[in-house]
Each structure stands twice: as C-alpha cells, then as structure tokens.
Amino acid sequence: MAEMHAVKTFARVGDPRPSSRRAAPPLPAWLALPDRDDGGEEDGRAPRRTRYRTIFVSDVHLGTSGSNAAMLLDFLKAHECDTLYLVGDIVDGWQLRKGWYWPQPHNDVVRAVLKMAKHGTRVIYIPGNHDEHFRDYAGLEFGGIELLDEDVHVTADGRRLLVIHGDQFDNVVLYHKWLAFLGDGAYTLLLKSNGLVNWCRRRLGLPYWSLAAHMKKRVKNAVAFISRFEEVVAHAAAERRVEGVVCGHIHSAEIRQFGEITYYNDGDWVESCTALVEHGDGRMEIIDWAERDRQQELAARERPRPTLVTG
Ligand SMILES: [Mn+2]
C-alpha cells in the first residue's frame, strides 16, 4: 500500500524531481552493505562484519569443481553469528571417492568454519546425502563442531524449526500422488525406505541415488518437482508439531508458507550462492551473495575513475 502511494506521489504532473528517481523499494541490508574494499583489513582496523543470530548454509559440495567455495569464504568472512547451521552436502564425499579434488579455497572454507567455532559460534553440522558418511558420527563433536542427524532450532520469537537436509523425503516426493490413497502409514514407510535403499546401495559400493539430481536431469518441469518437494517437507514438519522447517538439498532457496508451517530452504553454493539468516528479532531472510557481487561490480563500473594528479 505504502509503495503504491509513493508511486502516485512521484507521478504528479509538474514534479520537479528527475524521472530517474523513482520510488524503489528499500534495498535489503545485505545488498546495501559497504564495499568489500571498505573492510579495513589493510589499515589495521577490524573488518566490518554483519551480525546475525543464526546463519544456515547447505549444499556447498566441497570437493567438486562446481563448488563456489571462494564466494562462500567471502560470505563467511563478512558475517558473524551466534549459531551456524551447516545443513548438509557441505563436503561431497561421493565425488571425493571418485577422485581427490581439494583446491585451496575449499580448505579455507573448512578453516573459516573451524575458526568461527573456536571464537564462540555454535556450529552444528547436519549431514546430507553427499556427506552421509558423517551420519555415523551423529551426536559427536569434532573441533567444536557438533554433528547431528537433525535439530530443532528455536528462533528469537519462539518458533520451533525442524532443521534437516531434506534427502529423507526423496522417495516420498516420487510417490507423492499415491500418498493421498495410502495414508500416513505408507508415508512413514516411504520415509524409512529411502534410508534403507541408500543404506543398501552404500554397502554395495553404489553412490547415493539422488532424486533431486535425477529429476533435474530428466524432468523438464523442475518447478513442479520443487513445489512438490516443498509441500512434502512442510507436511512432515506439521507431523512433528513444529512451526517451520529449514532444509536444503534441492538447491532452491525459498521462504514459503504452507498453512501453519513456514518452509525455509537455504539454497546452495553450486548453482546459486544463497544463505538463510535469522535476525536478532527472529525475522528470517534469504541472502543472495552472487547478486550482491553483481551489484558491487555494477557500482564499481559506475564509480568515476580516480584522476591522475601530477607533480
Ligand atoms: Mn542433498
């Protein structure tokens, strides 16, 4: 409403303001941040960091050439938080087994996370299907990083959010249409079957069968798949009697309401470069770090070149 009103005001006849100054919606804080070279590291000042209550990242796929590790490193260095959730597929164990690929930025990401843990950030690692080897260590702690199968995060405004990678729902998404006829018993069975199928594949030395990857390759209508996945995850959250769910897995950042349940997906650092953050008051937001990069690039191009001073 306020936006409409503003547009109306600017459209007034004889308005002396230049037409280029349209009433644009306010930029999100993460886009309006100072330039990276304003970090002040060179002249000894501590780099300016934005603080959030919680940061959620997933699907980094370290150990693969597709991982935007340098971008994530840049993101981590620009932020502070009380709790950092690593929501699965951080290290791609399946790819690493095929051939070792571990460039410096991948190492730097691991070091940055360990450093955060050392300096008081609570770091919780919830393994996904590509780093499911870590699932055997759930409940243990390594270098200040807690490994958990899943967690319930309580936001500053008291909402309980189930935090889970999301691959657990692959089979349910596949057989979604049947569910309407089969009911909750079959649903629970399907949830368990995914783990069982992939447990067997693992024993046989076969890689994880990812429905998400499979569907993206075969199905033209990925939108329908994503929307079905979101629905199924929200349904599972409702059964767990929480107010929302945070997941990753399908590489598609989103905040969406399904009845009483808020569905959050923190996206990925392969296809996009997104994270989910919780502000001090419990408000949640998706940060698009690649978009911020693009904006800074544009701003740098528009900035006048420094004039050469002689003498
Ligand atoms: Mn995954």
Could you tell me the distance, in angstroms and rounded to a whole number, from the CA of residue 91 to the centre of ligand 1? Answer: 11
- In tens, the pLDDT along 204-232 reads 776 666 666 665 555 556 677 788 889 99
Q: Is residue 7 part of a domain?
A: no
The enclosing domain of 85 has a CATH number of 3.60.21.10
Q: Is residue 226 part of a domain?
A: yes
Q: How many domains, the chain?
A: 1
Provide the residue type at 271 as one letter. Answer: E
Could you tell me the distance, in angstroms and rounded to a whole number, from the CA of residue 262 to the centre of ligand 1? Answer: 20
Can you give the pLDDT at residue 207?
Answer: 61
Q: Is residue 307 part of a domain?
A: no
Can you give the pLDDT at residue 306?
Answer: 65
271 φ/ψ angles, rounded to the nearest 5 degrees:
-85, -50
Could you tell me the distance, in angstroms and rounded to a whole number, from the CA of residue 33 to the centre of ligand 1? Answer: 31
Q: Is residue 13 part of a domain?
A: no
Can you give the pLDDT at residue 215?
Answer: 58
Could you tell me the distance, in angstroms and rounded to a whole number, from the CA of residue 144 to the centre of ligand 1? Answer: 24
Could you tell me the distance, in angstroms and rounded to a whole number, from the CA of residue 88 to the centre of ligand 1? Answer: 7
Q: Is residue 309 part of a domain?
A: no
- Collapsing DSSP to helix, strand or coil, 151 comes out as strand
Could you tell me the distance, in angstroms and rounded to a whole number, from the CA of residue 154 to the centre of ligand 1? Answer: 23
User: What's the pTM?
Assistant: 0.77
In order along the chain (311 residues), what is the average pLDDT of each group of 10 residues?
41 46 73 54 64 97 92 96 97 85 95 96 95 91 94 98 93 59 56 69 68 58 79 93 96 95 96 94 96 84 68 51
Could you tell me the distance, in angstroms and rounded to a whole number, from the CA of residue 131 to the centre of ligand 1? Answer: 8
Could you tell me the distance, in angstroms and rounded to a whole number, from the CA of residue 187 to the centre of ligand 1? Answer: 20
Which residue segment(s) compose the domain that 144 sits in?
A: 48-302
Could you tell me the distance, in angstroms and rounded to a whole number, from the CA of residue 61 to the centre of ligand 1? Answer: 9
Q: Is residue 256 part of a domain?
A: yes
Pairing of strands 160-163, 244-247: parallel
Could you tell me the distance, in angstroms and rounded to a whole number, from the CA of residue 82 to the centre of ligand 1? Answer: 25
Can you give the pLDDT at residue 4?
Answer: 42
Cα separation of the two ends of the chain? 57
Per DSSP, what are the bridge partners of residue 163? 151, 246
Could you tell me the distance, in angstroms and rounded to a whole number, from the CA of residue 157 to the centre of ligand 1? Answer: 29
The C-alpha atoms of residue 239 and residue 261 are separated, in whole angstroms, by 10
Are 88 and 60 in contact by the 8 Å Cβ rule? The answer is: no
Q: Output the CA torsion sign for 198, 263, 86, 104.
A: positive
The C-alpha atoms of residue 117 and residue 161 are separated, in whole angstroms, by 22
Nearest Cα neighbor of 89 from 119, 53, 127, 138 is: 127
Could you tell me the distance, in angstroms and rounded to a whole number, from the CA of residue 250 to the centre of ligand 1? Answer: 7
Q: Is residue 73 part of a domain?
A: yes
